[in-house]
Amino acid sequence: MISISKPFIGSEEKDAVLAVLESGFLVQGPRTQALEERFAALCNTRFAIATSNGTTALQLALLANEIGPGDEVITTPFTFIATVNSIVAAGATPVLVDIDPETFNLDAALVEAAITPRTKAIMPVHLYGQMCDMEALCTIARTHNLRIIEDAAQAVGATYKGQPAGSFGTGAFSLYATKNVMSAEGGMITTDDESVAERCRLLRNHGQRERYHYNMFGFNYRLSDLHAAIGLCQLDRLHHFTKQRAANAAYFNARLDSVVTPKVQKGLTHVWHQYTVRMDRGRNRERSRASAIESLTNAGVGTGIFYPVPAHLHNHVRKIVGDICLPVAEQSAQEVFSIPVHPQLSEEDRETIVAAVNQL
């Protein structure tokens, strides 16, 4: 079976983890600091703060921007649940706005209508590795004095007109095992704002500035140096990984004719965290997505559905947002599926995938 994702673990990663174990410096040591410096450089931000995972990075990004109870945060329903859960965890209220059918990202044209006097921030999610319409969203944010908190969990290394993901406000990344750059578990916050960076550092470690003296309430959301060591090796591979993902995506785009293939927006670099297609309603009218996936499974091609249920239809979210209808997200959730695009695909794998998908 060609799996939908496959973390690459080389001898460098193994050696780096062993070296940390032997050093005895296991948490918030030199590897974590080095990873933060590398991330800040990659995202072209003044600061980067490592956390335990992408969800805690999002939560701290919100709290450090002083977003909490009574505040509304506008985001997309078509995302991993952690986006919405982080807003709930910060005590704020998620407000869900429908998506663009071509990019699957937040539809910037619908955002302004969702703004109320309580709105404090917009949280764009750069889904599948392609950035949102940041020009439009930043203009809205400036006009209404809102913060931008990017959920860049799937978009490490992506750019919008040359400007990196994570540099438009406060950025949050995930280094979870299946992400483009991984550390098994891990997260990262990026910002140019010194006070946001300082609050993130305090919130990450029980509000402690000096040992056993606590400036404020906080959590234990630290990253270990074992994880940071893996992340550093993966960052060394990022350029190569992204090139291979993009080459795989270009190969599929040129050959797949049975499904709607993904489009890259002008001026953007897509990092292809996922290669996501849509059932072609003209051609595959008779065919359900479930049967398409079954055929692919039988042909040895792994698939994923990101995501089968939009956030507003989960019970705990429905209790907050009520019974709302977001038609584009709902239809997309029923029509999309992703095929393997990871850097470890062989030429034979790519041929198998194209043949299987074009049989649909």
Ligand X SMILES: *Cc1c(COP(=O)(O)O)cnc(C)c1O
Q: How far is the CB of 100 from ligand X (least distance, A)?
A: 16
Name the amino acid, one letter, at 278: R
The yes-or-no answer on residue 266 being catalytic is: no
Q: Which of 158, 188, 175 is nearest to 233 (CA)?
A: 175
Count, residues near ligand X per rule CB under 6 A: 14
* CA-based max dimension of the chain: 65
For residue 12, report the phi and psi dihedrals to the nearest 5 degrees: -60, -45
Spatial separation of the C-alpha atoms in residues 335 and 270, rounded to whole Å: 21
Q: Is the CB of residue 202 less than 8 Å from the CB of residue 216?
A: yes
Identity of the residue, 183 or 261, whose beta carbon is nearer to ligand X in the bound complex: 183
Residue 190 touching ligand X (CB under 6 A): no
Identity of the residue, 342 or 350, whose beta carbon is nearer to ligand X in the bound complex: 342
Residue 53 touching ligand X (CB under 6 A): yes
Residue entry with tokens 């270990």: 224
Residue 55 touching ligand X (CB under 6 A): yes
Spatial separation of the C-alpha atoms in residues 174 and 44, rounded to whole Å: 17
> Tokens representing 185?
């578990």
Residue entry with tokens 């997260």: 187
Q: Which of 337, 303, 233 is nearest to 19 (CA)?
A: 233
Among 36, 50, 54, 141, binds ligand X (CB under 6 A): 54
Q: Which of 14, 120, 179, 266 is catalytic?
A: 179
Mark the segment that binds ligand X (CB under 6 A) among 19-27, 50-58, 63-71, 98-106.
50-58
Residue 79 touching ligand X (CB under 6 A): yes
Cα 330 from chain centre: 20
Mark the segment that binds ligand X (CB under 6 A) among 80-88, 131-139, 156-164, 230-238.
80-88
Residue 187 touching ligand X (CB under 6 A): yes
Identity of the residue, 187 or 310, whose beta carbon is nearer to ligand X in the bound complex: 187
Among 125, 131, 230, 354, binds ligand X (CB under 6 A): 125
Q: How far is the CB of 107 from ligand X (least distance, A)?
A: 17
Identity of the residue, 87 or 259, whose beta carbon is nearer to ligand X in the bound complex: 87
Helix/strand/coil for 114: helix
Spatial separation of the C-alpha atoms in residues 352 and 350, rounded to whole Å: 5
Residue 191 touching ligand X (CB under 6 A): no
Q: Is 347 exposed, middle or buried (0-12, 13-18, 19+ CB in 10 A)?
A: exposed
Mark the segment that binds ligand X (CB under 6 A) among 3-11, 74-82, 295-303, 319-327.
74-82
Identity of the residue, 251 or 306, whose beta carbon is nearer to ligand X in the bound complex: 306
Q: Which of 89, 97, 141 is nearest to 120 (CA)?
A: 141
Q: How far is the CB of 154 from ligand X (least distance, A)?
A: 5
Among 176, 241, 252, 307, binds ligand X (CB under 6 A): 176
**43 CB-near residues (< 8 Å, 6+ apart):** 164, 165, 166, 167, 171, 190
Name the amino acid, one letter, at 329: A
Q: How far is the CB of 231 from ligand X (least distance, A)?
A: 12
Q: Is the CB of residue 286 less than 8 Å from the CB of residue 270?
A: no
Among residue numbers 135 through 174, which ones bind ligand X (CB under 6 A)? 151, 153-154, 174
Among 83, 130, 261, 338, binds ligand X (CB under 6 A): 83
Identity of the residue, 249 or 357, whose beta carbon is nearer to ligand X in the bound complex: 249
Query: Rounded to whole angstroms, what are the CA distances from 292 to 26, 258, 339?
Result: 46, 11, 12
Identity of the residue, 133 or 151, whose beta carbon is nearer to ligand X in the bound complex: 151
> Catalytic site residues?
179
Which residues bind to ligand X, rule: CB under 6 A? 53-55, 79-80, 82-83, 125, 151, 153-154, 174, 176, 187
